[in-house]
Amino acid sequence: MASLEASQVEQHLEWDTPLFLMARAQFEQALPHSDVSPMIAERLSFPERALIVSVPLRRDDGSIRVFAGYRVQHSTVLGPTKGGIRYDPEVDLGECAALAMWMTWKCALLRLPYGGAKGGIRCDPRSLSPREVERLTRRFTSELVREIGPQTDIPAPDMATNEQTMAWMMDTYSMLIGHAVPEVVTGKPISVGGSIFRREATGAGVVMTAERACRRLGTPLEEQRCVVQGFGNVGGVAATELHEKGATVIAVSDLSGGVYSPKGLDVPDLHAYVALHGSLAAYDRGERITNEELLELPCDLLIVAAREDQLTAENALRVHAKLIVEGANGPTTLEADAIFAERGIVVVPDILANAGGVTVSYFEWVQDLGRLFWDREEIRSRLADKMMDAFDRVWSVSEEKGITLRQSAMVAAIREVGGALETRGIYP
């Protein structure tokens, strides 16, 4: 140890996993365009706080098993931190740190008064009974009680957690504090302070940005022939919105594969089918295709709303869409991104396109704090204002700097946080 330079010792921290180093590298690539000082850049390269807890669970058979739980808070410059809680075997400190940093940029881009956080429990949720998941959630919440709070850190659902998980977190926190605190989490059921339109918000926001991008590119949304990968919460709602706005949805897919009709699919019929049968597996009102084929169909607009790493160096040259909108997080690899830029295919990046969810989470928090109840139209119109404002700022930076929308989204976000931190200064 004595032979190591002090800077080398400092540089290797516990969250420096490949994923976090990738998040930091993206940040560093955007810095030259972002006009922030080296001092501010250095501060924002690190999460502010990280917590590891061990969470004991009494299994249904009476035995005890201990799980690792994490919460990382990246930045409190603009307000409390905000981000999901996931239950997954891959959860670790580096993953939470990377996702927390990305949440900081997403919130800042939308001008929400939050920084980013992420947390979770390293477990296989499918091996746990519903009662076990409830006990694990309640104990994890009690371990976090000094870290989370409506003014400090506000969790939300993520992988394998849902409205019910948030209701258990809200209840446990409220029991420990002594009164009902619905504003401590978002993504709750409406009966305990959740917001109307939260479920549809991400998919609706995806289509709002797609419509804006079409307008900027000079082709109305109604004339687009659209392909949607993923027919879950985000993709299913996006397909409905496209259909209702008069665009033609020619193909959709889920884990079971895709269905294609060049004349256009009947989206309400697809939803009715999935509600009845659980997936698109045997849907026969169209040609059956694989997910790989779906991504390469001739179309105008491709919405990728399934999962990460779908558009890669392997298939990017065979993608025919003119516009790609990222409903999922991380669906395009860095190599594919470079190929699309080279080919003039416009990509609306995830931190902008799928920010509708966190934006309506913010509306949920505001309504809870004010004991207010906004209706669907009010929430939809406020969401549209936020998404359009962010889209236009990103588009302007892209034109001004001659960089991609992904790079300009990062630049616009870093400017928000960096500018605020510059003004606040570094304490003390």
| Number of residues counted as binding ligand NAD (CB under 6 A) | 20
Whole-angstrom distance, CA of residue 178 vs CA of residue 340: 54
Are 193 and 166 in contact by the 8 Å Cβ rule? The answer is no
- Identify each DSSP E strand in 384-424 by its residue range: none
Whole-angstrom distance, CA of residue 212 vs CA of residue 215: 5
Name which of 292 and 422 has its Cβ closer to ligand NAD.
Answer: 292
Encoded amino acid at 66, one letter: V
Which residue, chain included where needed, has tokens 């510059």? 422
Which tokens belong to 210? 């797609």
Cα 181–186–191 angle (5° rounding)?
70
Q: Active site includes 118?
A: yes
Are 57 and 136 in contact by the 8 Å Cβ rule? The answer is yes
Q: Which of 136, 306, 316, 417 binds ligand NAD (CB under 6 A)?
A: 306
> Least distance to ligand NAD from the beta carbon of 88, Å?
12
Whole-angstrom distance, CA of residue 229 vs CA of residue 315: 14
Whole-angstrom distance, CA of residue 87 vs CA of residue 50: 17
> Least distance to ligand NAD from the beta carbon of 331, Å?
7
Binding of ligand NAD by 232 (CB under 6 A)? yes
Which part of the chain contacts ligand NAD (CB under 6 A), choosing from 10-18, 36-44, 214-222, 299-307?
299-307
> Least distance to ligand NAD from the beta carbon of 33, Å?
25
Name which of 36 and 239 has its Cβ closer to ligand NAD.
Answer: 239
> Least distance to ligand NAD from the beta carbon of 252, Å?
9
Q: Which of 329, 338, 388, 420 binds ligand NAD (CB under 6 A)?
A: 329
Whole-angstrom distance, CA of residue 121 vs CA of residue 129: 15
Residue ranges in 169-208 that form contacts with ligand NAD under rule CB under 6 A? 202
Q: Which of 267, 328, 336, 347 binds ligand NAD (CB under 6 A)?
A: 328
Which tokens belong to 194? 């959740």
One character per residue 330-359, x = contact with ligand NAD (rule: CB under 6 A): ------------------------x--x--
Q: Which of 230, 286, 349, 418 binds ligand NAD (CB under 6 A)?
A: 230
Which tokens belong to 316? 């990017």
DSSP 66-110: EEEEEEEE---SSSSEEEEEEEETT--HHHHHHHHHHHHHHHHHT
- Output the CA–CA distances (angstroms, integers) from residue 8 to 3, 12, 19, 39, in the order listed: 10, 7, 20, 19
Residue ranges in 239-268 that form contacts with ligand NAD under rule CB under 6 A? 253-255
Which tokens belong to 337? 């991104």
> Least distance to ligand NAD from the beta carbon of 418, Å?
24
Q: Which of 17, 291, 312, 315 binds ligand NAD (CB under 6 A)?
A: 291
Name which of 155 and 357 has its Cβ closer to ligand NAD.
Answer: 357
Binding of ligand NAD by 271 (CB under 6 A)? no
> Least distance to ligand NAD from the beta carbon of 251, Å?
11
Encoded amino acid at 419, one letter: G
Look at the alpha carbons of 44, 84, 395, 383 in this order and tell me if their dihedral is positive or negative.
Answer: negative
Are 190 and 118 in contact by the 8 Å Cβ rule? The answer is no
- Output the CA–CA distances (angstroms, integers) from residue 347 to 147, 155, 159, in the order listed: 37, 29, 25
> Least distance to ligand NAD from the beta carbon of 167, Å?
17
Which tokens belong to 185? 């989490």
Name which of 102 and 140 has its Cβ closer to ligand NAD.
Answer: 102
Catalytic residue, candidates 106, 118, 322, 386: 118
Name which of 259 and 421 has its Cβ closer to ligand NAD.
Answer: 259
Name which of 57 and 325 has its Cβ closer to ligand NAD.
Answer: 325
Residues noted as catalytic = 118
By CB under 6 A, name the binding residues for ligand NAD: 202, 229-235, 253-255, 291, 305-307, 327-329, 354, 357
